[in-house]
Every structure is written in C-alpha cells, then in structure tokens.
C-alpha cells in the first residue's frame, strides 16, 4: 500500500489517511516514552510486536461483542482502522496496586485490590494527564453521561475477558489503559474502543516470578524490554518458541510479495 497523507503523529503511533473515507492507517513505531514523554528511547521491534498483540486482542474482543475501530492488519507495522473522534480521556482499569496508585495512596505495589477500580485521566501531556472525576467529565463536557456509562461498561467487560486470557498463559493483568472514540453515523455517534492494547499500555506480571513483561521495564531502567514484549507475544501464540520479532517481519514481507 502506498504511503498516504500523514494526519497525526503521537508518542507510539503515526496516523495516515486511509484508502477509503472514514478509515485511517495506524502505524506502530519503535519509539518508547514514559512519564508523559519526559523519558524517551527506542525499543527495536516494539512496533511490530504491538501491532500483532493489539490485532490479536482487538479481534478477540470483537468476537465477544465489544465494538472497536479495528478493521484488519495490513502489514507488520500497520493496521486499517475506522476513523473516530477520540474522547479526551484515558480510562484506566486497576486490579492490583501499582505505579501511580501505589505512590498516591501509599499502598504497597503488588497488593490485590478489594475490587476492580476504574479511574479517568484527562489526555493532556502538557498537564501530565491529570486524574479527573465523573464530576469533572460532566462539568466540562468531555463525555456525556451515557457515553461514560458505555465506556465503563466496556472497560469492565474487557477487564474480565483479558484477565482470563492472560491468566491462561501465566500472566497477571495488573492494570491497563483504554481509549475510546465516537463513531459518527449520520447525526448520531456511538462509543467504540480505539487506540491499541499492548504491553505499552498494560502492566503484565509473570504469575510465578513476578517479572514485569511490559513498558515498566523501560520506565524503571530494568532492561530486557524487547525480550519481555516477545514473551507476551510468544505466550499468546503469536511468536514461535525461540523466535524474535524478525520472524514477524519476514512473515509480513512474504505475504506482501504473495509468497
């Protein structure tokens, strides 16, 4: 597919004009950022793995009735998705105390929460993505009450499904971030899942060892970022044992040449 007009470039992805009206090409980069882009780096091959992992999870979620923007994967780094109006909120689902929650509330990291907690953050890097309440969301019109209800309902369903999916391969789903968008149909819109679900936006811990298999390895200078992402892909059946992300590169290249 020929490269089209660039619409937007974010920290982990670039969006291009799609081949048909109402579509966008989502390109996954190897860039890694943390602390609202205060820390920057590169994880070679990350974009390839995140593309495959997100494709896999979005496809499974679509199968249980979660509406998403995902249409299909185009190649090793690109997906075709529906164009949506992104709701300016990050919805964070927490099962275990970690990260900012542990710092804010003084709860030891790794403590299982008495119930799943859903939090909201305003998408604004300049402000540090501040945590907001439902009152803020309603007062400033970032989302309507029905839209917020739909987002929370989907977030809880996604959590139930993903917790089981990862537990089945020996991974503890600690927490994760979701983004939603408005899909406009004539004069009406509906909320659907957008962005991506990958180790970039999830905390994933090995259930036996507690090893971190996500971007915390980059945030905390633990090293082994690529190996961690590969391990997640491998356990999900997306990467053969003993292989690395170059296998995905070669597979995509073969398909693009019709081999």
Task: Write the CATH number for 121.
Answer: 3.30.470.20
By three-state DSSP, how is residue 118 classified?
A: strand
CA R_g for the chain: 18
Cα–Cα distance, 157 to 171 (Å, whole number): 18
- Domain coverage including residue 159: 86-206
Cα–Cα distance, 117 to 177 (Å, whole number): 12
127 belongs to a structural domain: yes
pLDDT at 250: 46
113 belongs to a structural domain: yes
- Strand pairing of 112-122 and 70-73? unpaired
Cα-to-chain-centroid distance, residue 95: 16
Residue 111 near residue 97, CB atoms below 8 Å: yes
122 contact partners, CB below 8 Å, separation of at least 6: 88, 89, 90, 129, 130, 132, 136, 142
pLDDT at 219: 94
226 belongs to a structural domain: no
pLDDT at 242: 66
pLDDT at 246: 54
pLDDT at 254: 45
26 belongs to a structural domain: no
9 belongs to a structural domain: no
pLDDT in tens, the chain (259 residues): 456 899 999 999 999 999 999 999 999 999 998 877 778 999 999 999 999 999 999 999 999 999 999 999 999 999 999 999 999 999 999 999 999 999 999 999 999 999 999 999 999 989 999 999 999 999 999 999 999 999 999 999 999 999 999 999 999 999 999 999 999 988 899 999 999 999 999 999 999 999 999 999 999 999 999 999 999 999 999 988 766 655 555 454 444 444 3
pLDDT at 153: 98
Give how many domains the chain has, as a whole number: 1
45 belongs to a structural domain: no
236 belongs to a structural domain: no
33 belongs to a structural domain: no
Q: What's this model's pTM, rounded to 2 decimal places? A: 0.91
Cα–Cα distance, 132 to 146 (Å, whole number): 18
Cα–Cα distance, 255 to 259 (Å, whole number): 6
């Amino acid at each position: 597919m020929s490269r089209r007009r660039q619409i937007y470039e974010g920290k982990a992805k670039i969006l291009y004009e799609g081949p048909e009206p109402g579509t966008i090409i989502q390109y996954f980069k190897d860039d890694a950022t943390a602390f609202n882009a205060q820390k920057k780096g590169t994880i070679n091959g990350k974009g390839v793995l995140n593309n495959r992992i997100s494709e896999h999870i979005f496809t499974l979620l679509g199968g249980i009735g979660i509406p998403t923007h995902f249409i299909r994967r185009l190649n090793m780094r690109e997906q075709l998705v529906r164009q949506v109006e992104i709701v300016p909120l990050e919805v964070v689902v927490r099962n275990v105390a970690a990260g900012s929650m542990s710092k804010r509330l003084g709860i030891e990291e790794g403590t299982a929460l008495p119930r799943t907690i859903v939090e909201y953050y305003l998408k604004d890097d300049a402000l540090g993505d501040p945590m907001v309440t439902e009152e803020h969301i309603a007062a400033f019109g970032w989302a309507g009450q029905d839209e917020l209800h739909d987002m929370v309902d989907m977030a809880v369903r996604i959590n139930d499904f993903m917790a089981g999916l990862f537990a089945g391969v020996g991974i503890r789903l600690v927490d994760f971030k979701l983004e939603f968008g408005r899909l406009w149909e004539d004069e009406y819109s509906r909320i659907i899942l957008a962005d991506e679900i990958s180790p970039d936006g999830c905390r994933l811990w090995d259930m036996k060892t507690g090893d971190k298999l996500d971007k915390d390895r980059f945030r905390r200078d633990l090293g082994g970022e690529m190996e961690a992402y590969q391990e997640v892909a491998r356990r999900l059946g997306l990467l053969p044992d003993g292989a690395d992300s170059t296998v995905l590169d070669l597979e995509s290249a073969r398909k693009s040449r019709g081999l």
